A and B are shown apart, each in its own frame.
Chain A
Amino acid sequence: MKKIVFLFFLLCYNISSFSQTASEIITKSDDKMRGETSYSEIIISAVRPKWSKDMKLINWTKGSDYSVSLVKSPAKEKGTVFLKRKAEVWNYIPSVERNIKLPPSMMMQGWMGTDLTNDDMVKQSSIVVDYSHNIIGLETIQDLDCWKIELIPIEDAPVVWGRIIMWVDKSDYIQMKAEFYDEDSFLINKLLSYNIKNFDGKKLPSKMEFIPVEKKGQKTIIEYLVWKFGVTIPDKYFTSQYMKRLK
C-alpha cells in the first residue's frame, strides 16, 4: 500500500518536472523569432477584393526593442524607412525628405495600407510581458502537435486585445496559429503560419497570413525570402538621424 502511494507521488512529481509552463513556451517561441539580432528580406502583400499591392522590405532587428525596415519596392515608395525604438515609431518619407514621429493617435491605423496596424508592428513582443499564459489544450495544426495557450492581459497592461489564443508547435516552438479577440470576445484577427523552412539553422515559417476576420476578402501575406540571425548591425541603424541614409 505504502509503495503504491509512494510510486504515485513519484510519478506526479516527475510529470510536473518535465512539463513547461505556458510562459516558458511563449518566451521560447518569441525569442526564436527575434534572437539577439536578425536580418530579413520579406515581401508583404496587402490583398483586397479588387486589388492587391506587394511591397519588398529589408528588416534589421536588435532584441525586441529596436527594429528598422527599409522599403525596396514599389518604386514610388522606395527608400521609405520605418524605425521602432522601444515605444516610438518613426517614418521617413524620401519624396518629401521628411522624418515623422508617429503620434499615438496614428497607432491604430493600417501600416502602409496593410491589415497590420502600426500598433501591431510595435507591440510584437508584448505577448511575453503583458499577458499571463495558460495551456488550455493540445491540437494538431498542419501535422504538427501544438500546445494551445490562452493569453489574458495583465491588469493595466497597455494592450488592445481582450484575449489571445496561440498554437505553439511542440518540437520547434513555432507560432503556427493565433487568434486575437477584443474585450467583448469578438474574434478580430487571425494569424496563420505556413511553409516551415530552415532559416540560418532555425525552423521558422516562410509564409504568414494575417486575416482581419470581419472584413471580407481581405488579408495581408508576409513571405520571408531571407532570414539571418546573429548578424552584426551597427547601432546607428536604429537612430532617427540615420534613417535617410539607410540603404
Chain B
Amino acid sequence: MIIKLAWRNIWRNKRRSIITIVSILIAVFLSVSMRSMQLGMYDYMIKSIVASYSGYIQIHANGYMDQQTIDNSIEVNDDLLDSIANINGVNNIINRLQTFSLASSGDLTKGVLIQGVEIEKENLLVDWNTRLDTGTFFSNNNSDVILAKGVASYLQKGVGDTVIFIGMGYHGMSAAGMYKICGIVDMRNPKINNLTVFMSLKNAQEYLSAPNIVTHIIIDKEVKIDERKLSISIKKELDNNQYEVMDWRELLPELEQTIKADNVGGLIMVFILYMIITFGIFGTVLMMTQERFYEFGVMISIGMKKLKLIKIVLLETITLSLIGVILGIFAALPIMYYFNIHPIKLASEQAEAMEKFGFEPIIPMSTNLEIPLTHAALIFCISLIISIYPVITILKLDTIKAMKS
C-alpha cells in the first residue's frame, strides 16, 4: 500500500521527478567514470612498473639503494635462497645482476643498463614473448644479448650484429666483452626502452668477473598477500646489516607520491560533484515538501498516521535516488568496460609528458566493481540524510496551519 502510494506520488509530478533522476544519474555517471579513469590509471602505472619490472619487493645488499655499484652486491648461495623461499607469501625468487656500462658499435657509443637475468624466472613475472619484437631469447648458457628497441635503434644494430660493452667489473676488474645480438625487445616503457640491454645472468657474472654475485633479489608475491606485511616478514628472517628489503613504495617513492597526490585531487573533484548532487536532491525535496504542505495537512487531518506519511515520503526519496543511481551506473559500466579493453590514447603533448615519466601514454579505465558500488552507496546515504528534512517537517506539522497555506 505504502509502495503504491509512494510510486503514484512520484509520477504525479513527472517533470520534477525526471529532473531529479537525471541530475542524480549525471552526477553518478561523472563521478564513477572519473574515479574509474583515475584508479585505472594508478593500477596501470603500478602494474606496468611494479608487477612486470621492479617487482613488489626487492632485496639488495645493505647500502645498494644509495650507492648502486657492483661492489655493493649479494653473494648468493642455496641457504640464502631457501630461507627466503620458505617465508609464507613468497611465490617466486628472481635474481638479477645489474650494472651500467658503455655500449659501442662502430662509432656510436651509449651508456646502457645491463640486466643479467634468468629468462625462465623472468617469464613468471610477465610473458616475455609479448615483449619480443624480433629474434629469439638467449638461453642460460649462451652469451648472446638482447637490446631494448631504443638502444638498438640508437646504435643502428639489429639481430645478428655485434655489440661491445666496456665497464667496471667486480672488485676493480675491468669488464669488456663482444657479444652477438640475438633479439630486440619492446619493454613498452620508453625510458626502459632507451636504456636497457639483457643478457643471461651467468653471462653478466662472467662479464663482470663476479661469480655467484647478484645485485637484486626480486620477490614475486602470492596474489592476495599485502606486500608491506611480506616485506616485514622477510626483514625478520634476514640479517639487516647485510641486506636491505624494500617494497615498491620505497623503491619508487615518486610513483607512490604521484599516485597519492593525484588521488587527492580526484577525491576533491568527487567531493565537489557530491556537493552538487546533494544540493540538487535537496532542492527537489525542499520544493516537494513545501508544495505538498497542504496535501500533508489534509492527509493527516483525515486520519493518516504521521508515521505512515513519513514512510511514504521516505520511500519516494529513496526510490528516486535509487533509480537515478542505478541508471547512472548502467550508463557508466559500458564505458568503463570499453575503455578498459581499448584504453584512451593520449594526444601529442600529454603523451610526451607521460613518456618522460616512463609510461606508455594510455589511460585504461578500471572495471573494479567497488567503484560504482561505493558511489551508489554514498549517494544513497546522502538521499537518506536529505530526507530528514521532510520527515521533520511532517513531524512538526500543524494541520490547521498547513491547510491554511
Binding site for B on A (CB under 8 A): 46, 48, 50-51, 53, 74, 76-77, 80, 93, 95-98, 100, 112-114
Partner of A113, one of B104, B166, B168, B176: B168
| Least distance between B172 CB and chain A CB atoms (Å) | 3
Q: Tell me the complex Cα distance, A96–B166, Å.
A: 9
Residues of A within 8 A of B177 (CB): 95-96
CA distance A112 to B174 in the complex (A): 7
In the bound complex, how far is the Cα of B176 from the Cα of A143, in angstroms? 46
Q: Is B173 an interface residue (CB 8 A)?
A: yes
A-B contact pairs, 20 of them (CB 8 A): A46-B172, A48-B171, A51-B71, A51-B172, A53-B171, A53-B173, A76-B173, A77-B174, A80-B174, A93-B166, A93-B174, A95-B178, A96-B166, A96-B176, A96-B177, A98-B166, A100-B166, A113-B171, A113-B173, A113-B174
A54→B323 CA distance, assembly (Å): 82
Bound-state Cα–Cα, A113 to B168, Å: 8
| Contact residues of B between 159 and 176, Cβ < 8 Å to A | 164, 166, 168, 171-174, 176
Please tell me if the beta carbons of A95 and B176 are within 8 angstroms of each other in the complex.
yes
Contact residues in B for A50 (Cβ distance below 8 Å): 71
Query: Which residue on B lies nearest to A95, using beta carbons?
Result: B176
- Extra contacts, 17 of them, besides A76-B174, A76-B209, A96-B177 (Cβ < 8 A), are A46-B172, A48-B171, A50-B71, A51-B172, A53-B173, A76-B173, A80-B174, A93-B174, A95-B176, A95-B178, A96-B164, A96-B176, A98-B104, A100-B166, A113-B168, A113-B173, A114-B172
Please give the distance in Å from A46's CB to the nearest CB on chain B: 5
Shortest CB–CB separation between residue B162 and chain A, in angstroms?
A: 9
A231-B174 Cα distance, complex, nearest whole Å: 31
Give the docked Cα–Cα distance between A50 and B168 (Å): 17
Which B residues between 56 and 84 are near A, CB-CB below 8 angstroms? 71
A53 and B176 CA atoms in complex are apart in Å by: 17
Nearest 3 Cβ contacts at the A-B interface: A113-B172, A53-B172, A51-B171
Contacts of A93 in B (CB 8 A): 166, 174, 176
| A100 nearest in chain B by CB position | B166
Q: Find chain A residues with CB under 8 A from B178 CB.
A: 95-97
Shortest distance from the beta carbon of B101 to any chain A beta carbon, whole Å? 12
Measured in the bound complex, the distance between the Cα atoms of B392 and A76 in whole Å is: 90
Within 8 A of A (CB), among B172-188: 172-174, 176-178
State the CA gap A74–B104 with chains docked (Å).
Answer: 24
Q: Which residues of B contact A96 (CB under 8 A)?
A: 164, 166, 176-178
- Please measure, in the bound complex, the distance between the C-alpha atom of A46 and the C-alpha atom of B170, giving whole angstroms: 13
C-alpha spacing A64/B73, complex, angstroms: 41
**Nearest CB on B from A126, distance (A):** 26
Interface size on B, residues (CB 8 A): 13
Return the chain A residue nearest B165 by Cβ: A96
CB-defined contacts of A48 to chain B, threshold 8 Å: 171-172
Q: A76-B209, A96-B177 are in contact. Are A112 and B164 (CB under 8 A)?
A: no
Complex CA gap A97/B166 in Å reads 11
Residues in A with CB closer than 8 Å to B209 are: 76
What's the minimum C-beta distance from B204 to chain A, rounded to whole angstroms?
Answer: 15
Do B164 and A98 touch (CB < 8 A)? Answer: yes
Q: How far is the CA of A53 from the CA of B209 in the complex (A)?
A: 12
Shortest beta-carbon distance, A110 to chain B, in Å? 8
Report A-chain residues with C-beta under 8 Å of the C-beta of B172: 46, 48, 51, 53, 112-114
Residue on B nearest A54 in the bound complex, by CB = B172
| Most A C-beta atoms less than 10 A away, residue of B104, B168, B172 | B172
Say how far A73's CB is from chain B's closest CB, in angstroms. 12
Whether A74 lies near B173 (C-beta < 8 A) is yes
Bound-state Cα–Cα, A81 to B166, Å: 15
CA distance A50 to B171 in the complex (A): 9
Give the docked Cα–Cα distance between A97 and B164 (Å): 10
Q: In the complex, A58→B205 CA distance in Å?
A: 29
Q: Which residues of chain B come closer than 8 Å to A95, judged between CB atoms?
A: 176-178
A132 to B173, CA, bound (A): 38
Instruction: List the B side residues contacting A112 at CB < 8 Å.
Output: 172, 174
Instruction: Give complex CA distance A114, B173 in Å.
Output: 10
Closest chain A residue, CB of each to CB of B172: A113
- In the complex, what residues of B have CB within 8 A of residue A46's CB? 172
Find chain A residues with CB under 8 A from B104 CB: 98
Contacts of B164 in A (CB 8 A): 96, 98
Docked pose: A74 CA to B394 CA in angstroms: 97
CB distance from B178 to the nearest CB of A (A): 5
| Residues of chain B from 127 to 180 with CB closer than 8 A to chain A in the complex | 164, 166, 168, 171-174, 176-178
- CB neighbours (8 Å) of A80 from chain B are 174
Q: For residue B176, which residues in chain A have a CB less than 8 angstroms away from its CB?
A: 93, 95-96, 98
Residue of A nearest to B171 (CB): A51
**Whole-angstrom distance from the CB of B111 to the nearest CB of chain A?**
11
Instruction: Select from chain A the residue with minimum beta-carbon distance to B164.
Output: A96
Name which residue of chain B comes closest to A74, CB basis. B173
Are A77 and B173 closer than 8 Å at their CB atoms? yes
Contacts of A76 in B (CB 8 A): 173-174, 209
Q: Chain A's nearest CB lies how many Å from the CB of B153?
A: 22
Complex alpha-carbon distance, A74 and B166, angstroms: 17
The complex places the Cα of A100 from the Cα of B164 at a distance, in Å, of 12
Cα distance A93–B174 in the bound complex, in angstroms: 10
Closest Cβ of chain B to A102, distance in Å, is: 11
List A contacts of B174 (CB < 8 A).
Answer: 76-77, 80, 93, 112-113
Q: Smallest CB-CB separation from A55: which chain B residue? A: B172
CA distance A97 to B71 in the complex (A): 26
Listed residue (A74, A113, A114) with the most chain B CB atoms within 10 angstroms of its CB: A113
Report the nearest A residue to B174, measured CB to CB. Answer: A77
Q: Shortest CB–CB separation between residue B76 and chain A, in angstroms? A: 17
Central interface residue in B164, B166, B174, by most chain A CB within 10 Å: B174
Which residues 72-124 of B have a CB within 8 angstroms of A?
A: 104
- Chain B minimum-CB-distance residue to A53: B172
Within 8 A of A (CB), among B196-234: 209
Bound-complex Cα distance A77 to B171 (A): 13
